[in-house]
Amino acid sequence: MAGPPLNLVAIYPGSFDPITNGHLDLISRGSRLVSRLIVAVLRNEDKRPLFSVEERMEMLREAVGDYANVEVSSFDGLLVDFAAAQGANLIIRGIRAISDYEHELQMALMNRRLRPELETAFLMAGEAYSFISSRLVKQVVALGGDVTGLVPPLVAARLKGRYAVPTA
């Protein structure tokens, strides 16, 4: 099987607060399709993230360290502007359910309007990960639940530390 086209640079944007095994599945699959994959953390403080951008980038770097063609970055502002600055010609987005599609389609069409040469590819979530979201993972941990198998071990440890109940 031939490798990916030498000039295909993709961005996989998201908040990654925190990264889940569903995200890692998309990174693994996406990295096989392109010569360079940039996992880009959106700097959006309006969402009141649990982890800082720097912490999220650190967790991502640890989790994707085995992928030679994957790098981690961050951006604010328009994704199409970040993509242009990186020389990217593809955006990769994950779809878990039909409810994701409507929102993702709107964003893809707006991005196409703003930068017609930038394509968007939707990857379906793997069956094992189709129910996982960062929001749901945080809720489970906050309520004392176990997220083993849903997030990388390093993320699970950080989540437990963030939600640890202080002892009196």
Structure tokens at 77: 């502002």
- Give the N- to C-terminal CA distance of the chain in Å, as an integer: 60
DSSP 5-39: -TT-EEEEEE--TT--HHHHHHHHHHHTTSSEEEE
Indicate the burial class of 20 (C-beta count within 10 angstroms; 0-12, 13-18, 19 or more).
buried
Task: Determine the topology of domain 9-132 in CATH.
Answer: Rossmann fold (3.40.50)
Per-residue pLDDT of the chain (168 residues; tens, 9 = 90+): 555 556 899 999 999 999 999 999 999 999 999 999 999 999 987 778 999 999 999 999 999 999 999 999 999 999 999 999 999 999 999 998 888 898 999 999 999 999 999 999 999 988 888 889 999 999 999 999 999 999 999 999 999 988 876 555
Whole-angstrom Cα distance, residue 55 to residue 74? 12
Per the CB < 8 A criterion, the answer to whether 29 and 123 are in contact is: yes
Dihedral of alpha carbons 121, 126, 127, 129, sign? negative
Query: Which residues are catalytic, by number?
Result: 23, 47, 96, 134
